[in-house]
Structures are given as C-alpha cells and as structure tokens.
Amino acid sequence: MNQKKQPKSAFAEWTQAIVITLIIAIILRSFVFLFARVEGISMLDTLHEGDRLLVSKISYVIGKPDYGDIVIINVSSNAEYVKRIIGKGGDRIKIQQSTVYKNGIALEEGYLQPDLIYDDFAEVIVPKGFYFVLGDNRPRSKDSRYPSVGFIAEENIDGKVIFRVWPFNNFNSPYRTGN
C-alpha cells in the first residue's frame, strides 16, 4: 500500500513558524542578549534618558567583567541600573577632589563631562568576587558609593552593554575614551 504524505495547511505552517520563532527568541533573550532602556541621567553624557541598549548576557559566561565595562546590574528584585565598572576585587578605590583613584593612581576618565564636581569618598577595598561601579554623571548617580547599592557581586551583573540601538541617529558603541 502506497501512502501519500498530506501537505501541511498554510495555517499549520504559519503556526509552526511562529512557535519556532518564539522559542528561538525566548532562548536568545534568556541566554544571549537583552534590550534595556535607560531611565534617568546617571550615565550622562555617555547615555541619555530613553536610549535603548543591546546588552550581551553571554559576554560574562565566556569572560569576566573588566574595567570600564558599562553593565546592567541587578540591585534588587525591582531595580536594575546601568553603571560603569571602576574597581574589581582587591582594588582600593577612593575619590578626592572629583578624581577617582584606583590603587593610588588617578583614573583618566575621558568619558566624563568636563569640570564635573562631585563629593569625596573615603577609600574602600573591593571584596574578592565583587565590583565597584559608578555612573558617569557622578553628582546624580546612585552607585557603589551608596549603601543601598554597595559592591556588586558578579552574579548580579546581568550583562555588558554592547550598542546603543535607539535613537537610530545615535546608533553606536557607548564606549569612547575622549582626549
């Protein structure tokens, strides 16, 4: 007996395509990347309110967070912030006269607004397995200087910002060094 395979209906083909697309999207969103929206002004002039960011979740599966990385951090169950990594475990961090010092050496931070003035911060030692993060708009940033944020455990870093994807006229990498 010779059986002929019945062709799939258009509805079944569309349904299958949509289900496969959704599964792929869920996997990518869960394990590879996510999109984030900047809320607030703590990362001015690097990032602006309303910017949409492409964030790599896999970067820290294959590598470790590094100095200068702009990251999405999970501060609590309902708060995620975007900040820049300034210090890693074992580093001594202090702020004096609007200059950040890491292990006694002043950081050159070309990404900051010129003539930015912000408060001193007594020297701390970053615990092993943790990170010290700051916003680029230091006077208006809630970051590792505040007990409510503090040092960031590596497992609380959700990903590394790769690109600004919105607005389209400013599509680029948010990493710049300045002069």
Does the structure show a pLDDT above 90 at 150? yes
The pLDDT, as a whole number, for residue 77 is 74
* pLDDT averaged over every residue in the chain: 87
Which one is catalytic: 42, 59, 141, 144? Answer: 42
More confident: 33 or 154: 154
Tell me, yes or no, whether 39 lies in a domain: yes
The pLDDT, as a whole number, for residue 69 is 96
Residues spanned by the domain of 43: 34-85+127-170
The pLDDT, as a whole number, for residue 58 is 85
42 is catalytic: yes
pLDDT band, residue 151 (cuts 50/70/90)? very high
Tell me, yes or no, whether 103 lies in a domain: no
Tell me, yes or no, whether 110 lies in a domain: no
Tell me, yes or no, whether 145 lies in a domain: yes
Tens-digit pLDDT profile for residues 51-85: 999 899 888 888 899 999 999 998 887 888 999 99
**How many separate domains does the chain show?**
1
CATH number where 65 lies: 2.10.109.10
How far apart CA 111 and CA 93 sit, in angstroms, is: 18
Alpha carbons within 13 A on the beta-carbon side of 132: 23
The pLDDT, as a whole number, for residue 59 is 84
CA angle 149, 77, 39 (to 5 degrees): 70
Element (H, E) at 123: strand 121-125
Tell me, yes or no, whether 29 lies in a domain: no
Tell me, yes or no, whether 148 lies in a domain: yes
Tell me, yes or no, whether 159 lies in a domain: yes
Tens-digit pLDDT profile for residues 87-133: 999 999 999 999 999 999 999 999 899 899 999 999 999 999 999 99
Which one is catalytic: 83, 88, 141, 160? Answer: 83
Tell me, yes or no, whether 122 lies in a domain: no
